[in-house]
Amino acid sequence: MAGRFGFASLIPPGLAVESVDDSEGALVVTARSNARTALCPLCGAASVRVQSHYLRQPSDLPCAGRCVRLRLLVRRFRCGVPDCPRQVFAERFGTTVLAERARRTGRLEEIVHHLGLAMARSGRRQDVAAIRAAITEPWSNGQTEGQITKLKLVKRQMYGRAKLDRLEARLIGAV
């Protein structure tokens, strides 16, 4: 007997699918948490009082060669404990679904981690630490490096061939 395909298989467990849209070659999956309550991260008290909502858009695994854009509706809860310093908190999904402040789902993070380690094993030993840091560090300076690379490219192209005014015009056009 063949199993049924459901849109719930597109998203991590613990989430409920609100809607699925096909736009610009990508599947846009809007989902929310199945849980009715959330625990305050400071005092641990359960809360059912929803203060507000906001939208997170973490990266997720592709499906059948198509990009999946996950739109996650996150609720903000009000803590019911009067002495708790955190009056309003956002619901947490756990590290298997989406870690706190993460930009990738847990299952995508795991695949990226293992791919990086596999590439490090097949490459030079000096690159292992750099690849491990790129996988595990929560921040990246890739944007800064890209801008510096662009500036170096413009300088190389213009070296010895232009005056300062032409170089300035080229740089203004590159930005």
**C-alpha angle 106-21-107 in degrees, rounded to nearest 5:** 10
- pTM attached to this predicted model: 0.60
Specify the pLDDT at position 50. Answer: 93
Contact 37, 89 (CB under 8 A): no
Specify the pLDDT at position 1. Answer: 43
**C-alpha angle 92-10-142 in degrees, rounded to nearest 5:** 65
Instruction: Express each pLDDT in 49-79 by its tens digit.
Output: 999 999 998 888 887 777 888 899 999 999 9
Residue 129 or 23, more confident: 23
Query: Residue ranges per domain, the chain?
Result: 11-136, 146-174
Instruction: Express each pLDDT in 98-157 by its tens digit.
Output: 888 888 888 888 887 777 777 666 666 666 666 666 666 655 555 555 566 667 766 666
